[in-house]
Amino acid sequence: MILIDPPAWPAHGRLWSHLASDRSFDELHEFAARLGLPARGFDGDHYDVPETDYQRVVDAGAVPARSREIVARLHAAGLRRRKRRRH
């Protein structure tokens, strides 16, 4: 299932959502490609989606979910990837 959390993450002067799959990265990449989301938006285990695209992504079939639910589903599916710390 493709999931998206509400736009709540500030960066670059706007709010962002996280788009993820609880099934596979292939499913996630295919969904993102269909919507024309840039590959540079992929951040290890999710795509960062600007608030201006949130409704379009939901209309295309992404299921709204809380951020914690998305993280829990990624963990359960073995798809959660933590960011590497910068030194």
Tell me the per-residue pLDDT of 43-66, one tens digit each, with 9 for 90 and over: 999 999 999 999 999 999 999 999
Domain of residue 48, residue span: 2-77
The verdict on residue 57 lying in a domain is yes
pLDDT (0 to 100) of residue 76: 96
> Is the residue at 82 inside a domain?
no
Evaluate if pTM is beyond 0.95.
Answer: no
CA distance 28 to 34: 10
Maximum C-alpha span of the chain: 40
Q: Residue 26 corresponds to which amino acid?
A: D
Domain count, the chain: 1
- 15 within 8 A of 7, measured Cβ to Cβ: yes
> Does 44 reside within a domain?
yes
A 10 A CB-CB count for 21 gives 25
How far, CA to CA in Å, does 24 sit from each of 21, 57, 80?
Answer: 6, 18, 11
